[in-house]
């Protein structure tokens, strides 16, 4: 079965075609096509993602990404045909909010140019994320599903990150065999959470941030230091230089919530402490490196200690770390080093580097999980019947 997956929850417009062979969670997955457009350049001048702009960009880029992914998968075949009037009307109605971008007309042309591809299921991120951005993807998925007469399965973006982290691209394109209970630490620009998994598809949130997400803190601190968006990779790069040069401490930064006795996080105090440390000064090169290192050390120490506590409390056999911030080399090394000492029997999984940040391959994996669990017709009805109201966490 081929799954077409769509991701538009934040600032990446992504479409993939993934061939699935077998049942979840033992299936093998072959990525036939994968097209991703990053909006980073557009949002960089705002220092963060600007929702209305993200929505407009998704509307512009979805059809090019779809075409590219289908072409890579060798599933794009020309066949001129008329689109029935009822479909034309349905598209105008469904995509009324995207019409200003020209998306509706473009999609009608697409349907009139290409035959229905060999795709059996559409998976689309339905939340969490930026509402206007999510809508473009969901409505686009519904439009394709209506015209091609196939099902749509709504996917939770966070489950996508979990599955991306255990997708063994190098070995055999399967999900690794996870020992349960497992703990998942999701660290991205929008989320910082600890989940307990007792089985596939079951997630209990056991910890989360009370304010900023850790990626958001990286991005905001970077902005204060005059670094470009997204700040995570920039902070990591400078911190590494500061660490290698063994620079003296620039600022004694707090480890928020470290002794709160629970599994929750808070990063806004840490961010404020960095602001006070900068205190309006122009930082020199070594100051920047030392401060980036101090900040990264503080953030990572909290992430590790809370995760160790979660592992103790759950008796987990497996730790799955995912989300954009998990791309950080320092975070990977630190977790491996500390957990080797404290929890040597716990298996740790990080995503393949290309799958750390948002992508649509992870949405195909989650779509497969959901279609297997919920039987896809039911899931499809859910997204069709509920119209615009089923975007949920």
Binding site for ligand KG4 (CB under 6 A): 10, 188-190, 215, 218-219, 230-233, 236, 323-325, 327-328, 357-358
State the nearest-atom distance from the C-beta of 232 to ligand KG4, in Å. 2
Helix (H) or strand (E) holding 212: none
At 348 the three-state DSSP class reads strand
Tokens 């206007």: give the residue: 132
Contacts of 80 (CB under 8 A, 6+ apart): 112, 113
Closest approach, Cβ 64 to Zn ion, in A, equals 22
What phi and psi, each to the nearest 5 degrees, are found at residue 257? 65, 10
Q: Return phi, psi of residue 332, to 5°.
A: -60, -50
Closer Cβ to ligand KG4, 75 or 234, answer by number = 234
218 binds, among Zn ion, ligand KG4, none (CB under 5 to 8 A by kind): ligand KG4
Smallest separation, CB 218 to ligand KG4 (Å): 5
Residue 115 and residue 113: Cα distance in Å, rounded?
A: 7
Closest CB to ligand KG4 among 232 and 367? 232
* Shortest distance (Å) from residue 36 CB to ligand KG4: 11
Give 225 or 321: the residue with its C-beta nearer to Zn ion: 321
Binding part of the chain for Zn ion, among 89-97, 164-172, 184-192, 329-337 by CB under 5 A, reads 184-192
- The count of chain residues that interact with Zn ion, using the rule CB under 5 A, is 2
Nearest residue (CB) to ligand KG4, 127 versus 367: 127
The stretch among 57-65, 183-191, 210-218, 287-295 that binds Zn ion (CB under 5 A) is 183-191
Sequence-separated (6 or more) residues with CB below 8 Å from residue 204: 195, 196, 197, 198
Contacts with Zn ion in 350-369 (CB under 5 A)? 358
Tokens of 33: 């096509």
Strand segments, DSSP code E, in the chain are 2-7, 12-21, 28-38, 121-127, 151-156, 167-168, 174-175, 182-187, 192-197, 204-208, 318-322, 347-349
When CB distances are held under 5 to 8 angstroms depending on the partner's kind, the choice from Zn ion, ligand KG4, none that residue 127 binds is none
**Least distance (Å) between residue 214 CB and ligand KG4:** 8
If we measure between CA atoms, which residue out of 203, 198, 238 comes closest to residue 222? 238
Contacted entry of Zn ion, ligand KG4, none for residue 256, CB cut-off 5 to 8 Å set by kind: none
In angstroms, what is the minimal distance from the CB of 322 to ligand KG4?
8
State the binding partner of 232 from ligand KG4, Zn ion, none, CB within 5 to 8 A by kind. Answer: ligand KG4
Peptide bond into 181 cis (omega under 30): yes
Contact (Cβ atoms closer than 8 angstroms) between residue 73 and residue 103: no
Question: From Zn ion, ligand KG4, none, which one binds at residue 359 (CB under 5 to 8 Å depending on kind)?
Answer: none
Q: Rg of the chain's alpha carbons, rounded to an integer?
A: 22
| Per-position DSSP letters for 71-83, written without gaps between them | HHTT---B---PP
Whichever of 9 and 314 has its CB closer to ligand KG4, that residue is: 9
Minimum CB distance to ligand KG4, residue 11 (Å)? 8
Interface with Zn ion, residue 165, by CB under 5 A: no
Q: To the nearest 10°, report the CA torsion of 73, 79, 84, 85.
A: 90
Of 73 and 364, CB closest to ligand KG4: 364
Region 279-338 residues binding Zn ion, contact defined as CB under 5 A: none
Q: Is-contact 274 222, C-beta < 8 A?
A: no
Instruction: Determine contact, residues 243/187, Cβ cutoff 8 Å.
Output: no
Smallest distance from the beta carbon of 323 to Zn ion, in angstroms? 6
Distance CA 169, CA 32 (A): 13
- Closest CB to Zn ion among residues 101, 188: 188
With contact defined as beta carbons under 8 Å apart, do 253 and 298 qualify?
yes
Nearer of residues 104 and 184 to ligand KG4, judged by Cβ: 184
First to last CA, the chain: 27
Between 117 and 324, name the residue whose CB sits nearer to ligand KG4.
324
Residue 123 · residue 155 · CB < 8 Å: yes
Q: Which of 13, 188, 266, 289 binds Zn ion (CB under 5 A)?
A: 188
Residues that bind Zn ion (CB under 5 A): 188, 358
């Amino acid at each position: 079965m081929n799954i077409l997956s769509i991701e538009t929850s934040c600032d990446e417009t992504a479409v993939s075609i993934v061939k699935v062979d077998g049942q979840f969670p033992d299936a093998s997955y072959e990525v036939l096509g994968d097209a991703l457009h990053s909006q980073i350049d557009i949002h960089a001048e705002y220092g963060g993602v600007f929702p209305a702009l993200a929505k407009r960009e998704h509307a512009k880029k979805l059809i090019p990404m779809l075409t590219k992914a289908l072409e890579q998968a060798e599933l794009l075949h020309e066949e001129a045909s008329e689109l029935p009037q009822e479909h034309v009307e349905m598209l105008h109605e469904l995509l009324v909010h995207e019409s200003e971008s020209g998306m509706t007309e473009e999609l009608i042309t697409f349907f009139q140019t290409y035959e229905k591809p060999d795709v059996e299921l559409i998976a689309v991120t339905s939340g969490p994320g930026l509402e206007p951005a999510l809508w473009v993807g969901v409505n686009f998925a519904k439009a394709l599903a209506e015209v091609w007469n196939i099902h749509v399965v709504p996917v939770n973006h966070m489950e996508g990150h979990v599955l991306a982290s255990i997708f063994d691209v190098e070995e055999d394109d399967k999900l690794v065999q996870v020992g349960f209970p497992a703990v998942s630490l999701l660290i991205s620009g929008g989320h910082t959470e600890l989940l307990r998994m007792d089985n596939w598809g079951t997630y209990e949130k056991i910890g989360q941030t009370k304010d900023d997400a850790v990626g958001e803190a990286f991005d905001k601190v970077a902005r204060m230091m005059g670094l470009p968006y997204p700040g995570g990779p920039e902070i990591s790069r400078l911190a590494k230089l500061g660490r290698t040069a063994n620079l003296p401490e620039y600022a004694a930064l707090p480890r928020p919530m470290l002794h709160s006795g629970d599994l929750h996080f808070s990063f806004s105090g840490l961010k404020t402490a960095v602001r006070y440390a900068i205190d309006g000064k122009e930082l020199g090169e070594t100051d920047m490196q030392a401060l980036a290192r101090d900040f990264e050390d503080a953030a990572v120490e909290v992430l590790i200690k809370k995760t160790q506590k979660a592992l103790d409390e759950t008796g987990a056999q497996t730790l799955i770390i995912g989300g954009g911030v998990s791309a950080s080399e320092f975070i990977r090394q630190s977790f491996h080093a500390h957990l080797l000492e404290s929890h040597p029997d716990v298996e740790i999984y990080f995503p393949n580097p290309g799958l750390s940040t948002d992508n649509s391959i992870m949405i195909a994996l989650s779509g497969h999980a959901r279609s297997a669990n919920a039987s896809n017709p039911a899931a499809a009805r859910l997204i069709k019947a509920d119209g615009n109201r089923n975007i949920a966490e």
